[in-house]
Amino acid sequence: MNNFLDPAILFFVFGAFAGAVKSNLEIPQPIARFLSLYLLMALGLKGGFALNKSGFTVEIALALGLAIFLAVIIPLIGYAVLKTKLNNYDSAAIAATYGSVSAVTFITATQALDQSGIPFGGHMAAAMALMESPAIILAIILANKARAASFNAVEPIRISKVLHESFTDGAQLLLLGSMVVGLVSGDDGQKIMAPFSIDLFKGMLAFFLLDMGLMAAKNFGGLKGKPPITLIYALCSPLIHACLTLGLATLIGLPFGETILLMVLAASASYIAVPAVLRHALPEVNPALYMGMSLGITFPFNIILGIPLYIYLAKLAH
């Protein structure tokens, strides 16, 4: 119940309502961009400060290894399931979207854990960064394969180009760079940056989720007339991915907090990084399809219901 009464979640619900009734309320794009960069910077700093205290351990290596494994296996499973009902291009685009991650969902989950007093390692921010790109690369490979089989005239996308864009993306670099700053500066840096990266964080998140609510309402209409499998996948895959992660994390003995955050990452779907690449890499697919699924259905589900559900399931398993 606390999750439903959280101001940030309530602002998301309010934004979704405002969008649904077609209000002219909107957050200017430059401000929304700044808010997203602020959240990534604050998250990276927090992760770096935590890593400075804990150091690199076997436990951290296991968590990062599982994150990479999930980032590969989830889009492969998704593609195999989706192509039974959809064409290869649509299947690859949706598999990439759901194989990658949502930074805002992850940040919201870290706030839920903080409020519940559940500890987690700062290295989970690195896990999020590592899970961003594998699904995109797999989608490009699958799409190029489909084009070769159908003699499509669209020029194949080079994997080297995708890798360069992934690892030099501004948001990705800011997250990792902030983590390095936090790691190097340690306790002294944490004290200096606390008014910026801690005290302001909750308010910034609430403002950003208001914008996300508005966007979710607008993107939901993109699913009109789409095959039923898209709605089913958008609602069911987060639960399946979270349960798969819970089983694997329990098997290798990951701590409670890290298990929950990996579940959230596996259950989330990208609506920023992946669509930006897919617009060029998969022009055969209408962006309304994967944007409508990820931002119109999966993101609201995870923010409002998914995060508390994953915490509850992890408690049962532990």
Q: CA 134, CA 280: separation in Å to the nearest integer?
A: 17
238 vs 297: CA distance, rounded Å? 11
User: What's the confidence (pLDDT) of residue 173?
Assistant: 78
Where are the domains positioned within the chain? 7-16+58-152+203-317
Angle between helices 7-20 and 201-220 (to 10 degrees): 30
Give the tens place of pLDDT for each residue, 278-313: 777 777 787 778 888 998 899 999 999 999 999 999
What confidence tier does 1 reach under pLDDT thresholds 50, 70, 90? very low
Using alpha carbons, select from 250, 251, 265, 266 the residue that is nearest to residue 315.
Answer: 250
Percent of the chain surpassing pLDDT 70: 89
| Residue where the block lists tokens 């890798």 | 163
Pair of tokens at residue 238: 């987060």
Task: Tell me the pLDDT tens digit for each residue of 191-207.
Answer: 999 998 888 888 898 89
Which amino acid is present at 103?
A: A
Contact indicator for 250, 301 with CB cutoff of 8 Å: no
Q: What is the distance between the alpha carbons of residues 77 and 233, in angstroms, rounded to a whole number?
A: 12
Decide if 129 contacts 268 (C-beta within 8 A): no
C-alpha 42/C-alpha 69 separation (Å) is 26
Both tokens assigned to 303: 């923010």
